[in-house]
């Protein structure tokens, strides 16, 4: 943790030390409302994914605007949000290991907790832990709908897991997890639509197979910022797990918008300062790998098409410019991160800015919650 803050509430934007993670509150609030409006009046609810922001202040605002709960990716992440008062959390992951299971069932004493399975051994482990601590867990069968990561094949394998869950009274079969991660970043809208169309059919077929055995499938959950309009309109999904919509990043910004897609705005930035000019064509800023994740590519320089972020070292970012006079030592710049989730995890707090003034500092309380 840094020994001091990058800014204080009331400071002007110009006084923020760098590198700092900036949240444009105007754009952020418009993004929140656009998602709420996109689901209003429909039989589809938002379960906002908190791995994008790791910040209780944001999760509480999402719930206040209608989110039925949140998603977390790790049990330790969920613990931060339970402590902040969030009472309905789905861990969108398989959980293995006695220590993690003890933590999970402990959280279930005060919050409704869900978890995923894709193997019979996981079901047995969850049942044993839940019974030992006299709690109930919501359990979802994860279906591989195209990500080729976790999840069982659609159809019979899912039926068998659902049967096993129902046979263990400490567990409640809650539905199906059908998230297609790679589809979120298919650039062409027709490619995203086709990928989600296939996922929808896999979910529909699996639901029918499970219900044919007399087991109700109450929830089919999944979707992300890049595809949720397709799941929303499918007639199959009744819950979506979008997270990045509140911030947006360069990678999502590279998607071509299709008809009906929602125009979310960039709200998350890394403020940085030009610290070196040793060449007429290059500049170095103080935001490198430890300030902005580059797993999805380099950040872009906000509203500066004349500048290109070329490469990152630990504490340095190298920019190129064709105009030697375009940058001076000490100039501030705003970067749009390539990938918002891991970038947020690099910081202790969000510097929340309204217009030209710092309004608040929000702790990224679940930063580093990897267990």
| Distance, first Cα to last Cα, the chain | 19
> Could you give the percent of the chain with pLDDT greater than 90?
97
Q: Please give the Cα distance from 111 to 86 (Å, whole number).
A: 8
Position 326 scores a pLDDT of 86
Give me 207's structure tokens. Answer: 């639901």
Closest CA to 122 of 89, 155, 151, 156: 151
Neighbour tally for 323: CB within 10 Å: 10
Select the more confidently predicted residue: 325 or 228: 228
Position 317 scores a pLDDT of 98
pLDDT tier for residue 203 given thresholds of 50, 70 and 90: very high
Phi-psi label, residue 170: left if phi above 0, alpha if psi -120 to 50, beta otherwise: alpha
CA distances from 342 to 55, 161, 249, 304, 345 (A): 13, 32, 11, 24, 5
Position 121 scores a pLDDT of 98
Q: Please give the Cα distance from 216 to 168 (Å, whole number).
A: 16
* 3 burial via Cβ count (<10 Å: 0-12, 13-18, 19+): exposed
Neighbour tally for 200: CB within 10 Å: 22
pLDDT tier for residue 293 given thresholds of 50, 70 and 90: very high
Average pLDDT for 272-299: 96
Q: Please give the Cα distance from 354 to 148 (Å, whole number).
A: 41
Q: Catalogue the long-range contacts made by 196-202 (C-beta closer than 8 Å, 24 or more residues apart).
A: 196/223, 196/227, 196/230, 196/231, 196/234, 197/230, 198/145, 198/146, 199/145, 199/146, 199/231, 200/230, 200/231, 200/234, 200/236, 200/237, 202/143, 202/145, 202/154, 202/178
Angle at 46 between CA 42 and CA 50, to 5 degrees: 170
Position 201 scores a pLDDT of 98
Select the more confidently predicted residue: 325 or 205: 205
pLDDT tier for residue 20 given thresholds of 50, 70 and 90: very high
Kindly report the average pLDDT of the chain as a whole number: 97
* Residues 234-277: tens digit of each pLDDT: 999 999 999 999 999 999 999 999 999 999 999 999 999 999 99
Closest CA to 195 of 230, 219, 168: 230
Q: Please give the Cα distance from 321 to 182 (Å, whole number).
A: 33
Average pLDDT for 23-45: 97
Q: Using the predicted structure, report yes or no on whether residue 325 has a pLDDT greater than 90.
A: no
Position 313 scores a pLDDT of 97
Secondary structure of residue 300 in the 3-state scheme: strand
> Could you give the percent of the chain with pLDDT greater than 70?
100
Q: Using the predicted structure, report yes or no on whether residue 1 has a pLDDT greater than 80.
A: no
pLDDT tier for residue 278 given thresholds of 50, 70 and 90: confident
CA 177 to chain centre: 15
Packed helices 156-166 and 189-211: angle between N→C axes, nearest 10 degrees: 50
Average pLDDT for 281-299: 97
* Residues 135-194: tens digit of each pLDDT: 999 999 999 999 999 999 999 999 999 999 999 999 999 999 999 999 999 999 999 999
Give me 1's structure tokens. Answer: 């943790």
Q: Please give the Cα distance from 264 to 245 (Å, whole number).
A: 6
Q: Please give the Cα distance from 102 to 120 (Å, whole number).
A: 19
* 209 burial via Cβ count (<10 Å: 0-12, 13-18, 19+): middle
Give me 332's structure tokens. Answer: 């501030």
Q: Using the predicted structure, report yes or no on whether residue 323 has a pLDDT greater than 90.
A: no
Position 242 scores a pLDDT of 98
Give me 198's structure tokens. Answer: 């296939």
pLDDT tier for residue 324 given thresholds of 50, 70 and 90: confident
Answer yes or no: are the C-beta atoms of 317 and 18 closer than 8 Å.
no
- In Å, the largest CA–CA distance within the chain is 72
Helices (H), the chain: 25-39, 56-64, 75-83, 98-107, 120-132, 156-166, 189-211, 228-232, 250-253, 340-344
């Amino acid at each position: 943790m840094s020994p001091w803050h990058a800014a204080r509430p009331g400071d002007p934007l110009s006084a923020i030390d760098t590198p700092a993670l900036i949240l444009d509150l105007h754009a952020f609030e418009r993004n929140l409302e656009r998602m709420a409006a996109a689901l209003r009046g429909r039989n589809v609810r938002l379960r906002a994914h908190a791995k994008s922001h790791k910040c209780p202040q944001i999760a509480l605002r999402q719930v206040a605007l209608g989110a039925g709960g949140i998603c977390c990716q790790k049990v330790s992440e969920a613990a931060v949000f339970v402590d902040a008062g969030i009472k309905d959390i789905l861990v969108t992951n398989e959980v293995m290991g006695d220590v993690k299971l003890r933590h999970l069932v402990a959280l279930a004493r005060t919050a409704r907790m869900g978890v995923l399975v894709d193997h019979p051994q996981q079901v047995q482990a969850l049942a044993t832990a839940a019974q030992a601590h006299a709690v109930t867990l919501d359990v979802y069968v994860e279906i591989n709908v195209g990500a080729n990561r976790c999840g069982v094949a659609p159809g019979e394998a899912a039926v068998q897991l659902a049967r096993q869950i129902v046979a263990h009274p400490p567990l409640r079969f809650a539905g199906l997890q059908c998230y297609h991660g790679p589809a979120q970043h298919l650039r062409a809208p027709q490619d995203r639509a086709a990928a989600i169309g296939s996922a929808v059919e896999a979910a529909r077929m699996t639901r029918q197979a499970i219900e044919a055995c007399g087991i109700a499938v109450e929830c089919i959950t999944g979707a992300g910022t890049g595809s949720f309009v397709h799941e929303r309109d499918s007639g199959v999904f009744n819950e979506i797990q979008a997270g990045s919509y509140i911030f947006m990043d360069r990678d999502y910004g590279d998607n071509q918008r299709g008809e009906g897609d929602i125009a979310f705005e960039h709200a998350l930035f890394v403020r940085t300062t030009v610290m070196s000019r040793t060449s007429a064509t290059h500049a170095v800023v103080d935001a490198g790998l430890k300030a902005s994740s580059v797993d999805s590519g380099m950040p872009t320089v906000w509203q500066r098409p004349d500048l290109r972020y070329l490469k990152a070292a630990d504490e340095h970012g190298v920019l190129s410019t064709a105009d030697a006079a375009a940058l001076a030592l000490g100039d501030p710049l705003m970067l749009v991160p390539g990938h918002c989730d891991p970038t947020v995890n690099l910081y202790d707090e969000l510097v929340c800015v309204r217009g030209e003034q710092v309004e608040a500092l929000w702790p990224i309380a679940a930063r580093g919650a990897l267990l």
